[in-house]
Amino acid sequence: MSDRLVVGVDIGNSTTEACLALVGPGGAVTHLGTALTRTTGVKGTPASTRGALTAVGRVLAAAGRRPHELDRVLLNEATPVISGLAMETITETVITESTMIGHNPATPGGEGLGVGTTVSVLDLAEHPVAEPAVVVVPPGWDFDDVAAALNAAAARGVPVVAAVLAGDDAVLVTNRLVHPVPVVDEVSAVEKVPLGMRAAVEVAAPGRTIRTLSNTYGIATVFELDPDQTRQVSPVARALTGNRSAVVVRTPAGDVTDRRIPVGVLELRGEVRTTKVDVDAGAEAIMAALARVQPLRDAHGEPGTHVGGMLAAVRDTMADTMGDGPGGSDAADCAIRDVLAVDTFVPAEVRGGLAGEITLENAVGLAAMVRTSRSRMQAVAAQVAAELGAEAVIGGVEGEMAVLGALTTPGTRAPVVVVDLGGGSTDAASLSADGVCTAVHVAGAGELVTKLVDSELALDDREVAELVKRWPLAKVESFFHVRHEDGTVQFFDQPLPAHVFARVVVLGPEGPVPIGTRHGLDAVRRVRREAKRRVFVVNTLRALRQVAPDGDLRRLDFVVLLGGSALDFEIPDLVADALAEHGVVCGTGNVLGDQGPRNAVASGLVAAHARGAVRAGGTA
């Protein structure tokens, strides 16, 4: 019997990969090449056939072979996975009665603390001489005229102690005052500042922060408050901490509150017990509740909330996908099998703010995953066989194939565990020394990382968030040099494009791309790494605990990382560092010695076939 030409095809969530090889009569394998293409449709449904055929076509063409030479196509037992994710903001900051201005404008004027009564510049000429004035200036006033008005009042004997401006004019005004005072500007809703009330304005020197208005007792001193009143102003002081400037107005019922927004209940149904947890309790509470009911059989959110809508949509999409197959859809097959909750921040405008204050509200990001036990790969196999004129066989369970592929990495042997870091889900599979394979899938992967980056940096641009995730950062310091995030400097012969000047950029494949954020490079880097840690490290540990003997990570020896996200420049290191604490050796796979972390399942199918482990006949 001569060598047989076989191709292993792995239909994944986002990519379909093929591995072409000659298998000799004794099981010897000669690899001829690999190819990959985008998965068409949902993995494991007839729609994904076309992608499979494309991948096979490409790998054959690259190896100079024709379809009719193919003996067998080995397909993986790809069951559809639908993933979804949603973000729910769970806190809300509200300022009532315009009691505080804390937007921290870039260029306040003057320095120090001014305490007086709020009076509009329009009424300043009539203001009594004895009373210190905090002058409030509406939009449309020219800075020269504002300064003239303040100087005139001061000359008249009115103690002008501070000013609050609508326009960006604080420095301009203070430069023209005979007696400079603290001035806060860029207050867009200045007409809401209550007049005739006691108020305090504080501006710190450049590079410093305020001391009085960010101190509860400082505010108490300024406004002569009793202990009960002092307790009430504490949130105001807290909200102003870290600011270079601030205004506090003593209004009768004004305060600043941090409300928790009720966003409904998440119901987690386990094998044995069911539990409910408030989404606004935060990620830790949700994951703790999940741990108590593991293994998860389904999850439901509150209708009308983002989380509820997402969970319902994910379930419906699976029902639609499976609905055209044999036997119709079955409720049990469209169940949420895993969720991952992550604490995050969403920048949001403060309600009742006078100057468009933005604060970082707490939010919960939730990723969910639906898996079904039924497969429609039969239809796919039949179509592939018809198109190519070769036998098409569905071989082996996914996890097992991934492990076999990973074992073609030099330096590995069973027992071994693989972790596949994908776009929609993170998967782990283990192969014990006696050939027993266990596989698990958890929700949350690359897409969730992108969403976190997008949200926490307030980018509102998925394309840029994706770039920030994948590529390292630099700050363009001049037209001829950038400083990389590791501190090293790189010089250029040709000047950099004008639109990146002075910006924090991502060093993408097509050159530097500026990031539209106010944050410095370190902040962006921190957000990126934390997002990857909160998703991939957490999930790797979660998945490994489910396949490790007795859930004990220390009992694992070798872990091999696979999948697209294992190509990321820092994720493998973050994961390896976290596993090192548990004494686990972790590295990125190198399938076939030259494919890196890709093509594991496809290569595994070929390897399994060569061992005769694949049953002929196409039965699942």
Partner 1 sequence: MTAAAPRPAQQTRRSLRTETLEARPVNLDGFVEEWPEKGLVAMESDFDPQPSVRVEDGVITELDGRSRADFDFMDSFIADHAIDVATTEASMALPSVQIARMLIDPGVSRAEVIAVTRGLTPAKVLDVVKLMNVVEIMQGMQKMRARRTPANQAHSTSARDNPLQVAVDAAEGALRGFAELETTLGVVRYAPLVAIALQVGGQVGRGGVLTQCALEEATELELGMRGITAYAETISIYGTESVFVDGDDTPWSKTFLASAYASRGIKMRFTSGTGSEVQMGNAEGRSMLYLEIRCILMAKGAGVQGLQNGSISCIGVPGAVPGGIRAVAAENLVASMMDLECASGNDQSFSHSAMRRTARMLPQLLPGTDFVCSGYSAVPNSDNMFAGSNFDTDDYDDWNTIQRDLQVDGGLRHVREPEILAVRAKAARVLQALFEYLELPRITDDEVEAATYANSSNDYPFRDVLADLTGAQQVMDRGVTGLDLVRGLEATGFHDVAENLLTVLRQRVSGDLLQTAAVLTADFTPLSAINDANDYAGPGTGYRLQGERWEELKKLRHVTSATDPETEVD
Partner 2 sequence: MTTLDAPAERTLTLRETGPATRGTRPDEVVIAVSPAFGDPFTQTIVGVPHAEVLRQLMAGIEEQGVGVRVVRVWGTADLAAVSHIAARLSGSGVSVGLLSRGTAMIHQKDLPRLSNLELFPQSPLLDAPVFRAIGSNAAQYAKGQSPQPVPTRNDQMARPRWQAKAALLHLKEFECIRADAGPVELEVTISR
Residues that bind partner 1 in the complex, under the rule CB under 8 A: 37-38, 40, 51, 54, 122, 125, 462-463, 466
Tokens of residue 264, six digits: 């409904």
Nearer to partner 2, 141 or 223 (CB): 141
- Give the angle 114-120-124 at the CA atoms, nearest 5°: 85
Could you identify the residue written with the tokens 């020896």?
A: 557
Binder of partner 2 out of 145, 460, 557, 594 (CB under 8 A): 145
Among 168-176, 238-246, 375-383, 563-571, the segment contacting partner 2 (CB under 8 A): 168-176
Could you identify the residue written with the tokens 């039949």?
A: 382
Interface with partner 2, residue 477, by CB under 8 A = yes
CB of 508 to partner 2, least distance (A): 18
CB of 596 to partner 2, least distance (A): 36
In eight-state DSSP terms, residue 109 is B
Tokens of residue 170, six digits: 């604080």
Interface with partner 2, residue 107, by CB under 8 A = yes
- Binds 14: which of partner 1, partner 2, none (CB < 5-8 Å by kind): none
Nearer to partner 1, 284 or 320 (CB): 320
Among 188-196, 293-301, 497-505, 538-546, the segment contacting partner 2 (CB under 8 A): 497-505
Interface with partner 2, residue 143, by CB under 8 A = yes
What is the rounded distance in angstroms from the CA atom of residue 254 to the CA atom of residue 223? Answer: 14
Nearer to partner 2, 28 or 502 (CB): 502
- Binds 168: which of partner 1, partner 2, none (CB < 5-8 Å by kind): partner 2
110: left (phi over 0), alpha (psi -120 to 50) or beta: left
Residue type, 231: R
Nearer to partner 2, 203 or 538 (CB): 203
Tokens of residue 345, six digits: 């921040």
> Please, are residues 562 and 524 in contact by the beta-carbon 8 Å criterion?
no
What is the rounded distance in angstroms from the CA atom of residue 506 to the CA atom of residue 359? Answer: 25
- Binds 525: which of partner 1, partner 2, none (CB < 5-8 Å by kind): none
- Binds 140: which of partner 2, partner 1, none (CB < 5-8 Å by kind): partner 2
Q: In what order do the strands lie in the sheet with 425-431?
A: 437-443, 425-431, 416-421, 558-562, 585-588
Interface with partner 2, residue 525, by CB under 8 A = no
CB of 164 to partner 2, least distance (A): 16
> Please, are residues 45 and 80 in contact by the beta-carbon 8 Å criterion?
yes
What is the rounded distance in angstroms from the CA atom of residue 35 to the CA atom of residue 589? Answer: 17
Residue 18: in which H helix or E strand, if any?
Answer: strand 15-23
What is the rounded distance in angstroms from the CA atom of residue 294 to the CA atom of residue 440? Answer: 13
CB of 38 to partner 1, least distance (A): 6
- Binds 479: which of partner 1, partner 2, none (CB < 5-8 Å by kind): partner 2
Interface with partner 2, residue 464, by CB under 8 A = no
> Please, are residues 203 and 63 in contact by the beta-carbon 8 Å criterion?
no
> Please, are residues 416 and 403 in contact by the beta-carbon 8 Å criterion?
yes
CB of 61 to partner 1, least distance (A): 13
Nearer to partner 1, 48 or 540 (CB): 48
CB of 317 to partner 2, least distance (A): 38
Interface with partner 2, residue 149, by CB under 8 A = yes
Nearest to 178 by CA among 153, 201, 141: 153
> Please, are residues 232 and 220 in contact by the beta-carbon 8 Å criterion?
no
Among 170-178, 276-284, 524-532, 562-570, the segment contacting partner 2 (CB under 8 A): 170-178
Nearer to partner 1, 335 or 500 (CB): 500
Interface with partner 2, residue 511, by CB under 8 A = no
What is the rounded distance in angstroms from the CA atom of residue 518 to the CA atom of residue 524? Answer: 10
What is the rounded distance in angstroms from the CA atom of residue 141 to the CA atom of residue 143? Answer: 6
Among 226-234, 396-404, 473-481, 482-490, the segment contacting partner 2 (CB under 8 A): 473-481
Interface with partner 2, residue 495, by CB under 8 A = yes
What is the rounded distance in angstroms from the CA atom of residue 128 to the CA atom of residue 123? Answer: 10
603-614 as b/e: b if 16+ CB within 10 A:
bbbbbbbbeeeb
- Binds 460: which of partner 1, partner 2, none (CB < 5-8 Å by kind): none
CB of 140 to partner 2, least distance (A): 5
Q: What's the first-to-final CA gap in the chain, in angstroms?
A: 27
Nearer to partner 1, 40 or 588 (CB): 40
CB of 51 to partner 1, least distance (A): 8
Q: Which parts of 172-211 interact with partner 2 (CB under 8 A)?
A: 172, 175
Interface with partner 2, residue 147, by CB under 8 A = no
Alpha carbon 326 to chain centroid distance?
Answer: 38
> Please, are residues 448 and 342 in contact by the beta-carbon 8 Å criterion?
yes
CB of 16 to partner 1, least distance (A): 11
- Binds 466: which of partner 2, partner 1, none (CB < 5-8 Å by kind): partner 1
Nearer to partner 1, 129 or 291 (CB): 129
Interface with partner 2, residue 460, by CB under 8 A = no
Nearest to 480 by CA among 465, 460, 462, 500: 500
DSSP 3-state of 244: coil
Interface with partner 2, residue 490, by CB under 8 A = no
> Please, are residues 18 and 55 in contact by the beta-carbon 8 Å criterion?
yes
Interface with partner 2, residue 217, by CB under 8 A = no
- Binds 196: which of partner 1, partner 2, none (CB < 5-8 Å by kind): none
Tallying the residues shown for the chain, one arrives at: 620
Nearer to partner 2, 169 or 302 (CB): 169
What is the rounded distance in angstroms from the CA atom of residue 342 to the CA atom of residue 266? Answer: 14
For binding to partner 2 (CB under 8 A), which residues are involved? 107, 140-143, 145, 148-149, 168-172, 175, 477-480, 495, 497-498, 501-504, 514, 516
